[in-house]
A = this chain, B = another copy of it.
Amino acid sequence: MAKEGILLVLSGPSGAGKGTICQELLRTYPGLHYSISATTRKARVGEEHGVNYWFVSHDEFQNMIQDDELLEWAEVYGNFYGTPCRQVKQLLNDGKDVVLEIDAQGATQIKRKFPQGVFVYIAPPSLDELANRIHKRGTDSLDAIKNRLSCANNELSYVHNYNYVVVNDKVQVATNKVAAIITAEKCQVVRNCNIVKEILTNIK
């Protein structure tokens, strides 16, 4: 039986850079998989079913909730978003590592169902820098910026729920730290019962 993979949960306020770090990890960390979310919102131009999201109907989504098929879910502006269990569990059982990029409330739900997950909080170097980054994007209205910063404050208050905190000062350094966290977690004695058992049974 393959050793179970690692479920890596990345959170952090908007502008902390968790999306960029997630993409860098997927590009560089061998055998890491991205968990595709399910959503009831309509696909935008260029988005593909099974690539960007699993696009499902409201009824299908409600069934997934009732059948406990979601690791977590949330409603945002009338649309539902969630993480289907089945694909994630299949990958983990096959010994593959999976990364999820998710907000703090979602991470809290996952931690209840899957405490052996690795919960990493991506923090901005400072709140001023976070505000700078959101301003620099230049795509948001002033109200949207205020809303993002208020959400950021809410996200930041969850940092204690995580196992690790990585300050994203430079993307490459932060990505290397998250990669080190995956590698280290794979070496934990509690995740290597097979190796430990083998060592102990071979003692003559």
Query: Is A167 among interface residues, defined by CB-CB distance under 8 A?
Result: yes
What is the total number of residues of chain A having a CB less than 8 Å from a CB of chain B?
35
Interface flag for A121 (CB, 8 Å):
yes
Q: What is the 8 Å Cβ interface bit string for chain A, positions 169-204, against chain B (1 contact, 0 not)?
A: 000000011011101110111001001100110111
Q: Write the A7-45 contact mask toward B (1 if CB under 8 angstroms, else 0).
A: 000000000000000000000000000000000000000
A160-B190 Cα distance, complex, nearest whole Å: 9
Whether the pair A196, B163 counts as a contact (CB closer than 8 A) is: no
Interface of A is mostly: helix
How many copies of the polypeptide does the oligomer hold?
2
- CB of B165 within 8 A of CB of A189, answer yes
Q: How far is the CB of A128 from chain B (nearest CB, A)?
A: 9
What is the bound-complex CA distance between A160 and B192, given in angstroms?
10
Does A80 touch B at the CB level, under 8 Å?
no
Which single member of B120, B160, B184, B189 contacts A180 (CB below 8 Å)? Answer: B184
Cα separation A76 to B162 with both chains bound (whole Å)? 44
Q: Is the C-beta of A52 less than 8 angstroms from some C-beta in chain B?
A: no
Could you pull out 13 A-B pairs where Cβ atoms are within 8 angstroms? A121-B189, A123-B199, A153-B203, A153-B204, A156-B199, A156-B203, A157-B200, A157-B203, A162-B189, A165-B196, A177-B183, A180-B180, A183-B184
A165 to B126, CA, bound (A): 36
CB distance from A164 to the nearest CB of B (A): 4
Question: Is A166 in contact with chain B by the CB < 8 A criterion?
Answer: yes
Question: Which residue of chain B has its CB nearest to the CB of A196?
Answer: B159
Flag whether A85 is at the interface (Cβ < 8 A): no
Closest CB in chain B relative to A12 CB, distance in Å = 11
